[in-house]
Amino acid sequence: MRIIRYLKALSSVQLAAVTDEGEIFNLPQGDFLSLLKEAEASAASPLALVQSLISSARPIPESLEQLSLLVPIEAPEVWAAGVTYERSREARNYEATGGRMDASTFYDKVYDAERPELFFKSTAARTVGPGGAVQLRSDSSWQIPEPELALVLDGRGRIVGYTIGNDMSCRDIEGENPLYLPQAKVWKRSCSIGPAIRLAETVEDPYRLQMTCRIYREGQKVVEGTASTGQLKRKLEELTGFLKRDNELFEGTVLLTGTCIVPPNEFTLAAGDRVEIDISGIGTLLNPVVSAS
């Protein structure tokens, strides 16, 4: 079962549930957090609540492709984990050593350390949803999307859902100096999430999700990469455990879990590109790329 938000006529926002069969049912709650709250108040699981709400309802006639999808949740904060896959460690080492790959870097250290790399990535205002444009930085010439499994958390740091995240990144800024990480990661429209939240209780094994990223330029596919969450070095609870430690977590915080798909080193995004990220059981997150405004 997946939860979406879409734009209805007269600019009103509608929450809806998408069943495994692809039927879409409008839900009465204003947003995903209200759904969680109502489930908790009635001591039901979110899935049980949704199932009871849709049991005697009719699906809407539109298909998912016909709807104007919005971010499935306006996450107050988006955090991200880094160097959680071997492929990411390799890519960061390439950036940090200018391709020499002969140094044991802090990326090697964090990959093996008990404490993971966690950084602040985005706020609701900087985050775009399905179909929204992600933006390039004007002072970087080496930019890539980072396709990542994203965890939707409640205020206690429990995983209540899974979505897809794009952690847009500047490899040159990050490689120049690790202290530049916030600038390499955080700017206007540098994060996208969506298209749906898959309820956590309906995911049998989050370490068996297939991920694909495709980048199109002038209608041609110029990059394609695949990965599995089975390649993740850490457990998801390790990441949420460190995120919530001595922290104040807001309901609906999103945590990106790191990337395992990195385009070839000679590739950089350009305005007009289209990024497509697919995770099995969640959907496809599509975003056009625009230049800095």
| Contact flag: residue 88 with ligand DO4 (CB under 6 A) | yes
Minimal distance in Å, beta carbon 150 to ligand DO4? 11
Interface with ligand DO4, residue 234, by CB under 6 A: no
- Residue carrying the six token digits 């305005």: 271
Distance CA 195, CA 33 (A): 16
- Pick from Mg ion, ligand DO4, none: which does 236 bind, CB < 5 to 8 A by kind? none
Residue of minimal Cβ distance to Mg ion: 167
> Which residues, at least 6 apart from 41, have a Cβ–Cβ distance to it below 8 Å?
none
Which of left, alpha, beta for 182 (phi over 0: left; psi -120 to 50: alpha)? alpha
| Residue number with CB closer to ligand DO4 (50 or 149) | 149
**Least distance CB 169 / Mg ion (angstroms):** 6
- The CB-of-55 to ligand DO4 minimum distance in angstroms stands at 40
We find the least distance from the C-beta atom of residue 83 to ligand DO4, in angstroms, to be: 5
Phi, psi of 228 (to 5 degrees): -130, 145
Q: Nearest CA to 121 among 183, 206, 72, 37?
A: 183
Q: Write out the residues near Mg ion by the rule CB under 5 A.
A: 146, 167, 259
Return the closest-CA partner of residue 124 out of 174, 175, 65, 189.
189
Q: Cβ closer to ligand DO4: 14 or 163?
A: 163
Rank residues 144 and 197 by Cβ distance to ligand DO4 and give the closer one.
144
In the bound state with ligand DO4, the residue whose beta carbon lies nearer, of 39 and 191, is 191
Nearer to Mg ion, 167 or 174 (CB): 167
Under 8 Å CB-to-CB from 82, ≥6 apart: which residues? 88, 92, 110, 116, 117, 118, 119, 258
Question: Which H helix or E strand runs over 284?
Answer: strand 283-290
Among 18, 35, 69, 82, binds ligand DO4 (CB under 6 A): 82
The partner in contact with residue 95, picked from ligand DO4, Mg ion, none with C-beta cut-offs of 5 to 8 angstroms by kind, is none
Asked if 145 and 134 count as a contact pair (C-beta separation under 8 A), the reply is yes
The region of 15-23, 78-86, 134-142, 149-157 touching ligand DO4 under the rule CB under 6 A is 78-86
Residues 267 and 146 sit within 8 Å (Cβ to Cβ): no
Establish if 171 lies at the interface with ligand DO4 (CB under 6 A): no
* Residue 130 interacts with ligand DO4 (CB under 6 A): yes or no: no
Residues of span 256-285 touching ligand DO4 by CB under 6 A: 258-259
| Helices and strands of the chain, counted as H and E runs | 7, 18
Residue nearer to ligand DO4 on the CB measure, 5 or 234? 234
- Cβ of residue 5: shortest distance to ligand DO4, in angstroms? 26
- Tell me which of Mg ion, ligand DO4, none is bound by residue 154, counting a contact when its beta carbon lies within the kind-specific cut-off of 5 to 8 angstroms: none
Among 146, 149, 159, 170, binds ligand DO4 (CB under 6 A): 146
CB-facing half-sphere around the CA of 4: CA atoms within 13 A: 28
User: Residue 190 in 3-state DSSP?
Assistant: coil
- Counted residue by residue, the chain has a size of 293
Give the interface with ligand DO4 as residue ranges (CB under 6 A).
Answer: 80, 82-83, 88, 92, 117, 146, 167, 169, 174, 258-259
